[in-house]
Structure formats: structure tokens, C-alpha cells
Chains A and B, each alone.
Chain A
Amino acid sequence: MDQKLSTDYILQVRGLRKNYGGIKALDGIFFELRKGEVHALMGENGAGKSTFMKILAGLEKPDSGEILLEGAPYKPRGTYDALQKGISMIHQELLAVPELSVAENLFLGKEITGFWRKWIDNRAINEMAADRLKKLGITIPPETKMKLLSVAEMQMVEIAKALSNDARILIMDEPTSALSDREAERLFGLIGDLKNKGVGIIYISHKMDEIFRISDTVTVFRDGRFIDTRPAGELDQPALISLMVGRKLTGFFPENTSEKGAPIYTVRHLSQYNCFHDISFELHAGEILGISGLVGAGRTELARVLYGLDSADEGQALLHGEPMLPDSPRTAIRKGIAYVSEDRKSVGLITKMSVLQNISLASLNNYAAYSFIKKKDEQSAAGKLARHLRIKCSSLHQRVETLSGGNQQKVAIAKALLTKPKIIILDEPTRGIDIGAKAEVYHLIRQLASEGLGIILISSEMPEIIGLCDRVLVLSQGKQAALLNKSEATQEKIMYHSMPR
């Protein structure tokens, strides 16, 4: 990026501290944001990025420290106050009202009222919404109900909403995590426009290529402490990673050590109308089969059918030669199929429950006699797995909602593993988890394969698919576009096959 940045700081943060209980979430943070700057905020999960964002957005109050917004002290009384002062945040978790239309969501809290007092003027809202979406190049009809949109589309609306507040500072927390490459491109274009208008952007992402592509400056947090701020041009990927983790990562992707065994699982001509059509593949023991495709290609829908969460319309699946399309997850688990969902919070885990209770939940009957849970057996089995996967928690009784994303993911994987599956379907296993934890998850996946499991890995991250998988099934608009061997699976080829045609 060019160095013609202005020197006017819109935001200056000095010595910010925040404790939760006895834990130092933020321990003396420094941060400076210029006008028209894209400032990447990096750090492993648990580094304090979210807490920092929450303070800026008015969701939390700091214990001490100073924040200056254009030179004046900034102490937001709440999110509304923060918005009024020009700080807008796009949340990692989407906060739309599903029953309302896109337009109504866009103007939520500031409905345009018509001539007659408090009646909401729907027509005006729809027109203005259409106008705003068009400017951003988003082609969603404004009267569509929010719940009918895909996650990616919801995210676009969320961004449009944040921008409608005449934001001076825009905070983006993993904005591309649910976007396809093409949608992400559009977002980057949008970020460029905003920069030119002088908006300061704080950008959080775990995707390295994005950071180097769009950011001017990079600040790194580690364990709640400020580590460094540097121009993005001075950094490269290894340097940035070592700043984040405080150590060098070697062997990001593990070597393929597993022997490809006999085919154990066959899917033939599987279809679910409207979602995917005529999918056929074989999975061998010890193999990692990648499923790649754009958002909406039908990958998750396919996984849900294989696991019995939804039913197929046509076709069959054979496990060890026996017909195996489960009618419910219960059957799938019993037959040796496990699934780790892309959506940890709503499908994968019960966040109110403890690490222990989550890990054992899908195989509790194995640790019970006459319905009474054998606490010792349960604890030793779950504890062993927790140590094996290196889940960081104060005790097995810690609630899952208080864990970092990477550790939550490991709990979800542990739950699946405890059912002793023959096949495990991993749906976006590294979404929203930090880079150190990612490498650990990759090694874990490879290790599982070498123990003879068949693994189906659904991922939107190209490096993951290429680095980890033995074969890659590419879906495009619900159709099987290609089945590539490791040697053929290049980024270009996968992309080529993913494109709708």
C-alpha cells in the first residue's frame, strides 16, 4: 500500500486495561488509527481483540486507560452512543431480525416516518434501501425477509447497515468468514471506496492473504498485551505469525503420513432437490477427501444428509457395503459417522454446558449403567481426549461459552471422536479460529486419518483444501463439477471448476 497516509489520528488509545474476574483481558493496550487507513488487528483468539472491539463499540467499559476520538475523550455510554459518535461495528455473529425485511433491518432504530406521525413509511424505506444496496453493488430485493437470505447475503446487509450510520470508524470482525471469494472481492472494493472517503477501518481477520492485501498498518495483540504496530509493507507472513504466537510455526500443514486403505464409504447418485444433484464419490480409510465450492454450492446440505440431519430425495450411501443413509443423527452415530458442524454455537455445542458434558454428550450411553452416569468413567474418557487434543480450559467443568473459538472447536471435535466413528465429516473446522489453533487442528485431522478414519473435509479456505486433502470434490451450484487427485488440485483448477456456468 502507498504511504500517503494522513497523520490525523481519529482514534488514539493509551494504556487501556480491562479485567474479567481475575483474568486480564486487556493489559495496557496502545492503538492509533488514522483517517482513511485500514488497520489490521491481529492476534490469536484470546489475545484481547474482541474485548477491545467491544469497548470501542460501547458494549463494555474499560477499567482504566484513555481513548481519544479526534482528540476528545471518548467514553461511550452504550452502542447507540458509539454509533452516534461515528463508530460502527460489523459483528462476527449476525444480529439481524430474521422476520423483518432487508429494508426494515437496514433502518432498524431509525425508521423513516411518513407525513402522518409515527406510521412507518414502508415504501420510502424500501426505495432508500434499494438505493443504498445498489450503491454497494448488492443485488438483494429490499423487501425480502432477512431469514430467507444466505449467511453471505445477511453479512452484506449487515455491512450496508453499518455504513448507513455515516460511520467515521468502521470495525469489521471477520467480515469475510462466510463470504465466497467473489463476494469478498466486492467487499474489498467497498473498503477501498471507504478509505478514499476518509473512514478509518479496523479490520480483524485470521486470513493472512486478506491482511496483506488490504491493510496499511498491522497491530498485534498477544495475551491481552500490545505487542507491536508496523506498516503492513514491512511484514511478511512468517514475521507476522511469529509476532502473533511469539514463536515460529514450522510445518503449518502436516506431511501426508497416512496409508490409503480400502474404500469404506460409497455415495451414489445422491440428490436433494434444490440443493445438490447426483453426487457420487468413494471414501477410503485413512483418506482426507476435501469438498470445495463457493457459498451456496450445496456442501453443508450434502453433509447434513450424510449425517441424517436432513433426508435425501434420491440416491444412496454405502458404509462397508451396507446401505447407510441415516434417518437421524442418532443412527449415524451408531453406525460410525460423526459430524462437526460449521456452526459451532447453534449446531455443534451446547454452550451453557461444561466441556465435560459437551464432550460426552453424543456417547453418554457408553458411560452409564441403567441410565445412571458413571461419573468417573465419563471424566476419565473425556479428560483423556481433552488432553490429547490439548483443549485449554481451567477444568473440565468450565462452561464452553467461556472458551476461545479454537478450543470450542476442539471440544466439538472431541465430542465427535468420543463416538468412535469410522468416518468423520468436518464442516469448516477452522472457521474463526486463530492461526496457532489452526495448525493444531490440521495436525489432528492428519493424525486421525493415519489412525484409519475416513475424513470428509468441507472448507472454503483454498490453502486448507490444497494443503491437507488427498482428493478434492468440487461442487458448483449443487452439481459435482470435478473430483481431483492431489497432484491435479491446484488453486486455479479448483476455482475454475467451482465457477457457476
Chain B
Amino acid sequence: MKKISLDHIGQYGIAIAFVLICVLLSILHPAFLTLSNLRVILTQVSINALLAFGVTFVIITGGIDLSLGSVLAVAGIAAAIFAHPDSYPLVVPLAAGIGTGVLFGAFNGFVITKSKVPPFIVTLGTMTIARGLALIFSNGRPVSNLSDAFNFIGGGTIWGIPFPIVILVFTFIVCALLLGKTTWGRYMYAVGGNELAARASGINVNKVKMMVYTLCGGLAGIAGVLLTSRITTGQPNAGMGFELDAIAAAIIGGTSTSGGTGNMVGTLLGALLIGVISNGLDLMNVSSYYQLVIKGLIIVGAVVLDSMSKNR
């Protein structure tokens, strides 16, 4: 027991908070702890979790990505355009959606590494560009009439498990392995921990940054495809503010905004916590206006706790 360091408290803290809230909600509302509701929660969480995984990589290297929500929208539109029935094989809309995300991520990474402009500013610009392109490609109207095969991604089930949950689990495993077990993951921590020392240790800092932004964009692309498929429409206005939920999940999960610390388990828990709380509030008919206030308070609370455990 004595070996528990302050590093761990943050992560245990989120796990404990998550369990407590689940217990509380299942007492408050009988419908909470049912299989069908849990399925709903996980399906709803999946999109935010995908974005949060991506932004966790970015934040660990000391950066930030504000363009996620808009990239999700433009990727969703790109996928929808190629997803009409009897037009292209399924792989084309998937490639179009994910590829669009990758391109935007690579663009972010390229500008950030070449110009040395802070990621905050660059991705703020990309956020507007991507939103504009989503509106241009869709002529400002929802793109509907999508093929059944495409709609399976967000709406179908495998052995009773909604397909978005399958994607969530698979992506989580890949991201957690990449971050925790590979040289790339180690380099991400190094770059965020001390960029100069990382360079002096022979790490190609620009390549690492390029990689995290591209990865983050790619995950936003997958999330875009997922959302479009789930609502069976490409919405140019989709994903407004999603980047903030994703960043919140990462931070609640213990990723430090100053870079160099964080992990995927924490981020997953952070996303689940946000999902469970908004689900619980929905069940109890709390108005969405109040929900925003509560969510904000939780984010501030998590960050304050995090900084308190560090500066003790």
C-alpha cells in the first residue's frame, strides 16, 4: 500500500469517482443499470472517446488540437458524399472520411513543425477552414440517402454489441499499445516532457509531432464516419464544440496540459465519466442547459484536484 505515489492518486481518483457516480446513479434511477442503457452510454461515448484518444497523444507532446470537431464534420461530409446507395463500394466512403481526417491532421502537424507557430493558433485556424470546407462540400445542406452498408457502421450490431462499441474497444487497444508499449509512445512523453532534451537525445521531434497530429486527425476522421453513419446523414454543422469534450475527457483522465504525462486508460475513464454523467442527467430529466453548467464544474474540479495532487 505504501508504494502508491502521487502519480497514481490522479488515476485511482478518476476510477473511484467513476464507480461512485455509477453507484449513485443506479440508486437514483432504476433504468440506469440496465444492459440496454449501458449499451446506449457506450455508443454515445464512442465518438467523444475516439476524439479524446487522439487529443491525448497531442496533449502529451505538449500540444493541443482545437480543430477536432470541424475535422469530424468535414470528414463526415466527405464520407457521406461517396456513401449513396449503389454508387461506390463501402471502402470508398470510409477511405474518403478517414483520409480527410488524416489530411487535416497532417496539415496541422506540417504547419506547426515548420512554422513554430503555437498549436493553439494553428488548429484554431484549421477549425475554421475545416468547417468552411464542410459547408462548401455539402452546399450547406445535410447529405442524406446513404447506403445500408454504410449505415451499419454506426447503427449495426455484432452478436448484440453495437458496432460503435466494437470500434471503440479496438481503437482503445491500439492507442493504448502505441502509447504505452512502443518507442513512439515513449518519444511522445519525451517531447512533451522536455522538447530540447528530447532533441538532444536524438529524437526526431518534428517527426513525432507530425505523427501525433496526423493520428489525431485520423481518429477524428473515424469519428466523423461513425457519427455520419449513426445519424444516417452528413451534417456540415456536426461536431460543434466536440473538441472541448475530448480535451475535457483527456484532462479529467489525468493528462497534464503542460505535456509529458497522461495515459489512455485515464482518457477512456474520463470519456466514460462525462458520458455517464450526461446520461444520468438525461434520465433524471435535467435540462440540457443545467447539464452544461454541471459538466463545466466537473472539468474545473478535475483540473483543480489534479493540480492539488501535484503541488502538495
Tell me the A residues contacting B by CB distance below 8 Å. Answer: 22, 307, 309, 328-330, 332-334, 339, 341, 346-353, 357, 361-362, 364-365, 368, 371-373, 415, 419
Contacts and interface: CB of A to CB of B under 8 A. Distances in A.
Interface string B188-200: 0110011011111
Contact of A415 (B196, B201, B203, B204): B201
A283 B197 CA distance: 26
Contact of A339 (B193, B196, B200, B203): B200
B46 interface: no
Interface string B162-197: 000000000000000000011110110110011011
A494 to B, nearest CB: 29
A400 to B, nearest CB: 10
Contacts of A341: 200
A309 B194 contact: no
A373 B261 CA distance: 18
A344 to B, nearest CB: 9
Given A309-B199, A361-B198, 20 more contacts: A330-B202, A332-B202, A339-B200, A346-B194, A346-B197, A347-B196, A347-B197, A349-B194, A350-B190, A350-B194, A352-B189, A352-B260, A352-B261, A357-B190, A364-B183, A364-B186, A365-B183, A371-B182, A373-B186, A419-B202
10 contacts: A22-B2, A328-B199, A332-B202, A352-B261, A357-B190, A362-B201, A364-B183, A365-B183, A368-B183, A373-B181
A330 B204 contact: yes
Nearest to B259: A352
Contacts of A415: 201
Nearest to A22: B2
B186 A357 contact: yes
Nearest to B256: A352
A348 B193 CA distance: 12
A372 B181 contact: yes
Contacts of A309: 199-200
A352 B200 contact: no
Which of B2, B196, B202 counts the most A-chain CB atoms under 10 A from its CB? B202
A186 B2 CA distance: 50
A339 B200 CA distance: 8
Contacts of A307: 200
A346 B200 CA distance: 10
A368 B260 CA distance: 21
Contacts, number: 76
A362 B183 contact: no
A425 to B, nearest CB: 11
A346 B198 CA distance: 10
B237 to A, nearest CB: 39
B196 A346 contact: yes
Nearest to B207: A330
Contacts of A361: 186, 190, 198, 201, 203
Contacts of B2: 22
B194 A351 contact: yes
Contacts of A351: 193-194
A346 B181 CA distance: 26
Contacts of B204: 328, 330
Contacts of B202: 328-330, 332-334, 362, 419
A366 B2 CA distance: 35
B45 to A, nearest CB: 28
Given A353-B193, A372-B181, A348 B186 contact: no
A61 B200 CA distance: 37
A350 B181 contact: no
Interface in B264-291: none
Contacts of A362: 201-202
B184 to A, nearest CB: 6
Contact of A373 (B183, B193, B194, B200): B183
Contacts of A357: 186, 189-190
Interface in B196-231: 196-204
Given A352-B193, A353-B190, A347 B200 contact: yes
A329 B205 CA distance: 11
B175 to A, nearest CB: 14
Top-4 shortest CB links A-B:
A350-B193, A330-B202, A362-B201, A333-B202
A341 B200 CA distance: 9
Which of A330, A353, A361, A415 counts the most B-chain CB atoms under 10 A from its CB? A361
Nearest to A339: B200
A341 B183 CA distance: 23
B14 to A, nearest CB: 19
A348 B194 CA distance: 9
B296 to A, nearest CB: 28
Contacts of B194: 346, 349-352
A329 B201 contact: yes
A333 B203 CA distance: 10
Contacts of B187: 364
Given A346-B194, A350-B194, A353-B190, A371 B260 contact: no
B210 to A, nearest CB: 15
A22 B2 CA distance: 10
Given A346-B194, A365-B183, A371-B182, A353 B199 contact: no
A334 B204 CA distance: 13
A349 B193 CA distance: 9
B201 A372 contact: no
Nearest to A400: B193
